[in-house]
Chains A and B, each alone.
Chain A
């Protein structure tokens, strides 16, 4: 992709009326496609982009029931990391982080990737042992991680209070851990995909599937029927709803995941700091807001609204670590509906319906996986077999019992 640069801003800036080209084109759906991606979030758009760019597929549509990036891709707290325990997870998420590292250039769209490091805190000697296990596993997985002493943590994040109710005994950092701009990632992929001929259709809800002999023949939408033999579901939060229309039951529960921001202030935080024991993480956006979050409201919900108990818990936890922020104010609280899978690992790849591919179960951490999710799903769709990086993430793992349980090692995920 080209077209955006300081020069182009200068050029357009001198004009009286802006004449920037559309970032992406909205189109009406055609009658048939080689592949249809359901869901215009980051994963769906990235899948379409890599289908077109890497595999040369030209007749691809992304169908979005609302507006692009309106689901969790536009509601998350923008963290990318690959500090995973299991080799399968580490390989996948590190590929994703690598793609993020070059994404602005790849898309010619500045996603403002800020690799300020993700710092995980341990609050007891035993937690430090678990953390060491985690950090060493990450190193064996060829991903960067460093164990830090409390003093090193204090140096890195001077405002932190080490002497909390659960004193900080140490921690570890993945320095490549990053935040970026979620909207920019969505728009960047949309623009690049659109430029490669992908049809982006907003306000088009998939209402059913045309299945014959257990194979996909097309989808029914609020804007008419579309015939296609390859359909990819990338509708995290509503995966069960869509899959049910294709006759599938999924091991997924939808819950509300909250996030919240403070009023914007000048830079005070250097890292993304997370603590599993006190259940929260916090970073500061480039705009200056403190962005914090924790777990999900633990009951089924599609309400996209956050509850009060978790808000109080998150804020109290953040102030326990950073008491100097107590006089700041909380600006906004929101929530997204996330797919919680039994082992906190995504569900990706083939389904019992031929031609129907699934990308779901992201739990609290789908944002960081967008580039690799798109890349591997594109490969999976084209070859009708799972990409090697996602072979362990298949829906079939639940019957064999071969779960990939990151929950055991990762604590708060996001």
Chain B
């Protein structure tokens, strides 16, 4: 900075120990001068005050260059004072881990905060990437689509990727905690400016439950820095009173430092809440899901830059941001601050500057006839004004030094004359305002173009939403208060509350300055006029896109990447549209606008996930006997939602050894297996049998009480959906077993058939999986083991044959015992009330000890079922398998009545004999183990053709050889054939055999 400012007399009012902040004004501002804070930027120490943002503190220290631009690496300074900031995106560590791309304008200053620039190398002051800036014509829109093709993109990609991507993955671990919270309310008000406060107050006074969300840590919006009187008081006094009133009301929840980021269906809104981010003990971010009966959007408007050559120099700022820094933070962006505008409202910046004793060398307005009020006021104040004038160039390498202003002969054709140079170190510019309609648009609301204010405003929306104040295109304090009150009251009424409150807070609307910007003007070198600061898009890029026919607004956005950076075009979209309209001789409404998407501002990924990580990512279901298994060194694995013992590891045993031991123990003595996840569904009612007969492939009607039958369920497309046994407990009372993973799905599916297709059938479907623990005692010694426990059930072969059920008492507990087997051994599946699982496990263990009973895990059971050739739905079947493919042809053919999926089985494709069918496979020669997933192939020309695959395979501990199942084209008719298996390049010779290779006669199971 060249000149020393007379006004910036920091040090006079501040404590002596605090180093001078050269751009801090002597008094005023919503900062606490008694609470100085130290921070560093790029390693240098600075001081600010509590109440500062990082941006205001940097400005107070006259740090003008805060970053380098994305593509051209041009020095950039703070542009705004809010969420729209495209330049001041820093890497910040405020004590809870470093964060990339933090908007300095929204980051509260904290003691010890460290910040550094991004996207500049080797240093912020001297950036090698700037070379791109000096060859700008080569890097215009779409350059990468036109070159880097020879020899191939991969030659260049690595380098391009490294220079793209603005931020860095934070190196320090993230120490934040994240929570989800839910809230229901009557009226949600987004934004706490004058319109939002008025709306919240009007709604709350009716008794409605109101939530007021404010993205800034200090509620008030423009009241924090704009002049104006409400009910005869200053705006800030009214703000504090209103906030006080709202805080007194028990039906109001005020949420500062929280941003409404998404507006979803049915008035569900998301709020990213950072109020506890600087919590002394632990930093917390919350992600709220708020279900609001009615929504009021009072989200204000975002000021738009002017487009002129060199409009990106540090020191050039949005006019409202200049007022914001001066009034709220008591920081001036410069000593001589010029003002450039295209509407009346921005002129007030000059008045505020002057009121704070800051030189205003010039007000330049592109219009030839500004409003009489502002002109008179400027004249009264003796300010230099140039009309029909625009900035034609700017100077200053590391910050603005001067501007060149030209008067327009007539500003439409862009001919200029009378250029003169004006010395200034900052420029407040305003190209008008764009209402923050993002949330409205996300809600599905349509927008319309307001030609008076030169912006898009809300039009209509099907959701229960109202808009007030600047967000609605109603600019000015008076309008905001009036509309806010009306909309807040209407929202409360729509939510069912009677409102009688009179409007509280009036401002004279005559004091407001009109916002009616003139947008279309264009001079000097196109490639030095920035449209999008964040993505370095200039007018030249837009010109080129138009020249190449990318004239749809979406094409323009994508081709030039306007508005696609981290700021999502908050200060660029409107200017890009205006420029596109001008270049294609269309109006802005003809050009239209792009769609706004969530999020309004970026949301931490951790906050969106909330507590859903690790254990809580998908809570595991534990079996009733879990603790018993754990105490026996069970190695647990996930099987669907369930954590189950895969095997029990004895010291020194490998997984394979453990499984082998368990298999052999059960085959030779006895095993105890907990199968509680097995789906258990009871179907009760006079029509239960008829219903189930329509569901199962098998005949249900012939089943007698206490009999058990194995059955298949198909979906309506004839594909095997699930298998398991079903048992007739009594007349009109059945128990269905499903595979564990399918249990919930099958219940919903049965309910659908009953409730939607056959509601006239009288029955009840009741899922009882969780009520019962299922413990299976199996093996040649199973009966002897059970003889050692207290029961009134007769387990003898004559009294309790295979595939039947007995009910009684076991160890005093009501029990259902099914004699069914998935392993080929004599097997009793005992169901007792779930909370008795552990006790019964212990009793069985004790009774079984003399016979060599061991606990058996899932993997051993799967090996045994494979030796036995039993189908495992999901492993041996997939979404294409029909019952013919798995050997159920005879059962299907025998069933005379219709069942779910039966009609599909008569289609030509289902009847094909060359379908892939389930077979057993025997490994011929070779020592490499065959694995599930190997392909079955036959030669075709020079390559192979797949004719199936191995669905299950293992080395059988019982038979000491490989046993396998597979799906093979026409397999049912190919017994004895030798086929080729292929697995990761290895080849196998496999003979097609019967699926069952262990005890095919079933003597063990029935004995």
Contacts and interface: CB of A to CB of B under 8 A. Distances in A.
Contacts of B442: 305
B880 interface: yes
Interface in A367-402: 399-402
B549 A24 contact: yes
Interface of A: 4-6, 8-10, 12-14, 17-26, 66-68, 70, 74, 87, 104-105, 108-115, 123-126, 128-137, 139-142, 147, 164-166, 181, 183-184, 187-188, 202, 262-268, 278, 286-289, 303, 305-308, 311-312, 315-320, 323-334, 342, 399-403, 405, 407-409
- 5 residue pairs, one from A and one from B, having the closest CB atoms: A288-B165, A132-B933, A13-B137, A408-B879, A329-B602
Contacts of B176: 327
A252 B404 CA distance: 62
Q: Describe B's contact surface by its main secondary structure.
A: mixed
Given A166-B618, A202-B552, A319 B613 contact: yes
Contacts of B504: none
Contacts of A334: 597
B672 to A, nearest CB: 23
13 contacts: A18-B544, A104-B149, A112-B145, A112-B148, A125-B637, A132-B933, A136-B949, A166-B618, A288-B164, A320-B613, A328-B604, A330-B608, A402-B909
Interface of B: 97-101, 135, 137-138, 140, 143-149, 152-154, 157-158, 160-162, 164-170, 174, 176, 178, 262, 264-265, 268, 270, 289, 442, 444, 540, 543-544, 547-550, 552, 554-555, 558-559, 565-566, 568, 597-599, 602-606, 608-610, 612-615, 617-618, 620, 637-639, 717-718, 875, 878-880, 904, 907-910, 931-935, 937, 943-946, 949-952, 982-985
A139 to B, nearest CB: 8
Contacts of A409: 878
Interface centre among A141, A287, A327 (most CB of B within 10 A): A327
Contact of A124 (B149, B614, B638, B944): B638
Contact of A332 (B597, B878, B935): B597
Contacts of A17: 543
Contacts of A266: 161-162, 165, 167-169
A18 B543 contact: yes
B615 A165 contact: yes
A87 B949 CA distance: 13
A400 B559 contact: no
Given A9-B138, A288-B166, A140 B935 contact: yes
A264 B165 contact: yes
A290 B776 CA distance: 49
A326 B609 contact: yes
Nearest to B175: A327
Contacts of B946: 87, 137, 140-141
A330 B904 contact: no
A115 B146 CA distance: 19
Given A112-B144, A305-B444, A405-B880, A140 B984 contact: no
A325 B99 CA distance: 11
Nearest to B144: A110
A6 B145 CA distance: 10
A267 B612 contact: no
A318 B602 CA distance: 17
Given A140-B944, A320-B617, A18 B547 contact: yes
Contact of A408 (B168, B613, B878): B878
Given A132-B933, A265-B100, A266-B165, 19 more contacts: A5-B149, A13-B135, A18-B543, A68-B552, A129-B933, A133-B951, A136-B933, A140-B935, A263-B602, A265-B165, A312-B608, A315-B608, A316-B617, A319-B606, A320-B614, A329-B602, A332-B598, A399-B907, A400-B909
Contacts of A110: 144-149, 153
Nearest to B646: A125
Contact of A13 (B140, B162, B559, B950): B140
B784 to A, nearest CB: 34
A9 B637 contact: no
B1000 to A, nearest CB: 25
Nearest to A114: B157
A330 B605 contact: yes
Contacts of B165: 264-267, 287-289
B875 A126 contact: yes
A315 B609 contact: yes
Contact of A115 (B154, B264, B907, B943): B154
B147 A324 contact: no
B679 to A, nearest CB: 18
A352 B946 CA distance: 32
A407 B174 CA distance: 38
Contacts of B170: 327
Contacts of A401: 717-718, 904, 907-910
Contacts of B97: 327
A136 B935 contact: yes
A22 B268 CA distance: 44
Interface centre among B599, B904, B937 (most CB of A within 10 A): B599
Nearest to B906: A401
Contacts of B612: 312, 316
A327 B605 contact: yes
B617 A165 contact: yes
A125 B931 CA distance: 12
Contact of A20 (B161, B548, B638, B935): B548
A71 to B, nearest CB: 11
A366 to B, nearest CB: 18
B566 A18 contact: no
Contact of B164 (A278, A287, A317): A287
Contacts of A188: 145
Contact of A405 (B265, B544, B555, B879): B879
B613 A329 contact: no
B540 to A, nearest CB: 7
B966 to A, nearest CB: 10
Contacts of A265: 100, 165-169
Contacts of B99: 327
Contacts of A166: 618, 638
B168 A330 contact: no
B926 to A, nearest CB: 17
A264 B138 contact: no
Interface centre among A6, A108, A409 (most CB of B within 10 A): A6
B147 A6 contact: yes
Contacts of A23: 548-550
B605 A303 contact: no
Contacts of A164: 614, 617
A87 B947 CA distance: 10
Given A263-B100, A263-B602, A316 B609 contact: yes
Contact of A19 (B547, B617, B639, B932): B547
Contacts of B174: 326-327
A383 B138 CA distance: 45
A131 B620 CA distance: 23
Interface centre among B143, B933, B951, B952 (most CB of A within 10 A): B933
A393 to B, nearest CB: 15
Contacts of B951: 133
Nearest to A327: B174
Contacts of B615: 165
Contacts of A20: 544, 547-548
Contacts of A8: 146
Contact of A9 (B100, B143, B168, B950): B143
A403 B268 CA distance: 39
B609 A324 contact: no
Contact of B637 (A124, A183, A268, A318): A124
Contacts of B547: 18-20, 22
A18 B615 CA distance: 58
A308 B143 contact: no
A5 B146 CA distance: 6
Interface centre among B907, B945, B946 (most CB of A within 10 A): B946
Given A26-B549, A329-B604, A334-B597, A18 B140 contact: yes
